[in-house]
Structure 1
Amino acid sequence: MSELKIASESPKWVASLNNPPAHRSKNTSIPDPPGFPSSQPSAVSAKQKKDAAKIEKAAPRKAPTPDEMDTLKVKKAWEVALGPIKGLPMTGIMMYMSGNSLQIFSIMMVFMAFKNPIMGILATNQAFERFESDSNRSKIIQVKLAYVAMQLVALALGIWKLNQMGLLPTTRSDWLAWETQREPLEHAVFAL
C-alpha cells in the first residue's frame, strides 16, 4: 500500500525514466550509411551490399610523388610565411585602443610588438626547416624572404606606436643637448 502511495506521489518524469517508451521500428526507406550495417540483417538491401563491396575493393591510396610533396611543402611554407601578417589588424586595433599615454598596458603592447617580430626573424630557419628539401631550396628562400618582410611590417607597427606615444626622438627639441649656442650679432647695454 505504501509503495503505491510513493509511486503516485513521484513526478511524471521519474515514471517516464523508469518506464521508457517502446522502441519504434526503423524506417526502412532510409538506407544505412556505408560501413554501418543495420542490426537487422534482413533490412540490408542489395544496393547497400554493392556499395560495401565497392568500398572494400577500392584501391589503397598511392603514395605522393616527390614533386607533389615539394609542392605541398611550399604551400605549407607560404601559409607559415603569411601567418604574421594575419595578426596585424588585431594588433593594430589593440594598439590604437590602448591610447598614447604611458601606461602599463600600452607599454606591454609595445614590448610585445617588438619582441614577437624580432624573435620571429631570429627563428626564421627553424620555422622553415621542416619544409626545406634539396629540390625546393630556391622556392623556400623566397618564402623566407617574404616571412622576414612580414615580420618587418609587424615591427614597423611597433615603431608607429612608439612614435604615437612620443618616445621616438623625431623633433628638434629632442636633440637640444647637441645644439650649440648661437653667438649673438649684437649686445644690448642698459643706459642710465
Structure 2
Amino acid sequence: MSSQPLPPVPPPQWVVALNSPMPRPTKAAASIPDPPGFTSSRQGGKNRSQQQSAASSAPAKPVETDTLKLKKAWEIALAPSKQIPMNGIMMYMSGNSLQIFSIMMVFMLFKGPIQGLISTNTVFAKFDTEGTRSKLLGVKAIYVVMQLLLLALGVWKVNAMGLLPTTRSDWLAWESERQPLERAYFALG
C-alpha cells in the first residue's frame, strides 16, 4: 500500500463567486431605465464627473461658512425649548408627594440646565469666528433664557411639592415668630 497524496478539494462555489469580479452587465441589463432622480455615470459621462470635481475643489466662502455655523448655533440654542413641554408634562404627572421617583425627576430637571449654563461658552466655542462673534452673543442669550426656563420649571415643581420655604411652617423651627414693630390701638368713642 502506497500512500498517495489526495487531490486538492476544490473550494465551494460561493467562495469562487466571492473572489471573482462581477460580470459585466449585458445589453438587457443596460436597457433597464434608471429610477427617477438618478443619473448613472454611463449617461452623465465626463460632464458629471467634471462637475463633481469642480464642486468639491472649490473652497467654501467664509460668508457661507459663517452662515452655516450660525444656523447650527441657533439649532443648539433652541434645543432646550423642545424639552420644556416634555419636562412640564413629566413633572405634572409625577405628582406632588415626596417619593424617590419625583425627587429624582426634580434632580434631573435641575441638573441639565445647570450643566448647560456652566458650559455655555464651550458649547458655542466651535462656532466662534471673527464673522460670527457679534451674532453669537444673541444666540448665547437665547440659550441661557431657555436654560433658565427649564430651571423655572424645576422651581415650580419644588414649590408644588412644598419644599420651598415661602411661608412660615413648623418644619422651619429656626425661624422665630415675627413681632410687629408698632401696635395699633383703636380708640372707641
Structure 1 and Structure 2 fold alike (TM over 0.5): yes
SS in 1 for 2:130: coil
Aligned length: 149
In the alignment, which residue of structure 1 is the partner of 2:39?
34
Aligned 1:127-142 pairs, distance under 5 A:
127-142=123-138
The worse-fitting range, judged by mean Cα deviation, of 136-145 and 149-158 is 136-145
RMSD of equivalent CA atoms:
2.8
How far apart, CA to CA, are the structure 1 residues paired with 2:166 and 2:40?
Answer: 71
- Of the two structures, which has the highest relative contact order with CA contacts closer than 8 Å and spacing of 6 or more? 2
Sequence identity percentage: 52
In the alignment, which residue of structure 2 is the partner of 1:60?
54
In the alignment, which residue of structure 1 is the partner of 2:176?
178
Pick the aligned partner of 1:71 from 67, 70, 77: 67
Deviation at residue 27 of structure 1 after TM alignment: 8.9
In the alignment, which residue of structure 1 is the partner of 2:118?
122
The CA deviation string for residues 143-185 of structure 1, in whole angstroms up to 9 with x for no partner, is 1111111100000000010011111112243667231468x9x
How far apart, CA to CA, are the structure 1 residues paired with 2:49 and 2:115?
Answer: 50
**Quick one: structure 1 residues 93 and 54, their matched pair in 2 at CA, closer, same or farther if it must change by over 3 Å?**
same
**Quick one: structure 1 residues 105 and 28, their matched pair in 2 at CA, closer, same or farther if it must change by over 3 Å?**
same
Q: Which runs of 5+ in 1 are unaligned?
A: 1-24, 37-47, 185-192
Q: Which runs of 5+ in 2 are unaligned?
A: 1-27, 184-189
**Quick one: structure 1 residues 31 and 138, their matched pair in 2 at CA, closer, same or farther if it must change by over 3 Å?**
closer
The worse-fitting range, judged by mean Cα deviation, of 89-98 and 53-62 is 53-62
The list of structure 1 runs, each at least 4 consecutive aligned residues, that deviate by more than 6 angstroms after superposition, is: none
**Quick one: structure 1 residues 31 and 146, their matched pair in 2 at CA, closer, same or farther if it must change by over 3 Å?**
closer
In the alignment, which residue of structure 1 is the partner of 2:161?
165
